[in-house]
Amino acid sequence: MLRAHRAQSYYREEHLTVRPRRKPPERISHRGAHQTHPENSLSAFERAIELGADGIELDVHATSDGIVVVHHDPVVHARHQQRPSHQAIAELSAAELEQFPLADGTRIPTLSETLAAIGRRVIVYVEIKAPNIEALVTRCIRESETTCAVHSFDHRIVKIVKSTFPAIRTGVLEVSRRIDPVASLAAASAEDLWQEVDTIDEDIVAKAHSVGARVVAWTANDAAQWEALYALGVDAICTDRIAELAAYAW
């Protein structure tokens, strides 16, 4: 009894304040698990989900006949030719694009089939890489059951998406440390600040949170960064190393 009494006395509120641990940041897989699978492929997305990703970040362009496809670069490369051929996705039809397989031999997926494959398991963050395809992208999202958000380096694209699809979550990508870090959020009517990891500080997080926005760090690939971002209170981390991040003990 004496030992218990002493323990209770030592751990009284004035001696120790126990603060609950914050929820870990959302774990977003950058282009899927592309350490072991071709980036932006269905297999890379599936593997990222298996590893424990909370979200998938992917990139989209559109073909000349209006099919939204998941690919990072605006061009594709013919791997089967001795002399590499670089073809703009916007100048190819969906059928012509099939001539340019991914590294594993599979074809570049469409956004619609990607969303169908992912379903409701995780949120999908769609980065629009090309201008004038906002309506095509939002139609794919509206026709799917997947929870999606849209972001872009071109903040005009974000504003257009938000004005035509007010219910969707949108974000602005930033690579620089702006004097007013939330001005672009307001200008684009966006809710997520996708901030380059090396430019994130306590002030950015505080100001984003003060206007009800989230901070998404990109692209953070080591444990020291993850720990620092957690301490700063970021809301999500986009990473190339989803296996390690999903298993990281906060």
* Rounded CA separation 152/157 (Å): 7
Q: Does residue 4 sit within a domain? A: no
Report pLDDT digits (tens) over 162-186.
Answer: 999 999 999 999 999 999 999 999 9
Kindly give the parts of the chain with pLDDT less than 50: 1-19, 83
Q: What's the Rg (C-alpha) of the chain?
A: 21
Residue 3 pLDDT: 36
Residues spanned by the domain of 115: 25-247
* Rounded CA separation 42/82 (Å): 27
Residue 22 pLDDT: 81
Q: Does residue 33 sit within a domain? A: yes
* Count: domains in the chain: 1
Q: Does residue 152 sit within a domain? A: yes
Q: Does residue 11 sit within a domain? A: no
Residue 84 pLDDT: 56
Residue 80 pLDDT: 56
- The CATH number of the domain holding residue 158 is 3.20.20.190
* Rounded CA separation 125/32 (Å): 11
Q: What share of the chain is helix, strand, coil (3-state, %, to 5)?
A: 35, 20, 45
Q: Does residue 9 sit within a domain? A: no
Residue 10 pLDDT: 31
Q: Does residue 8 sit within a domain? A: no
| Strand-pair category, 148-152 with 123-128 | parallel
Q: Does residue 15 sit within a domain? A: no
Q: Does residue 17 sit within a domain? A: no
Longest dimension (CA), the chain: 84
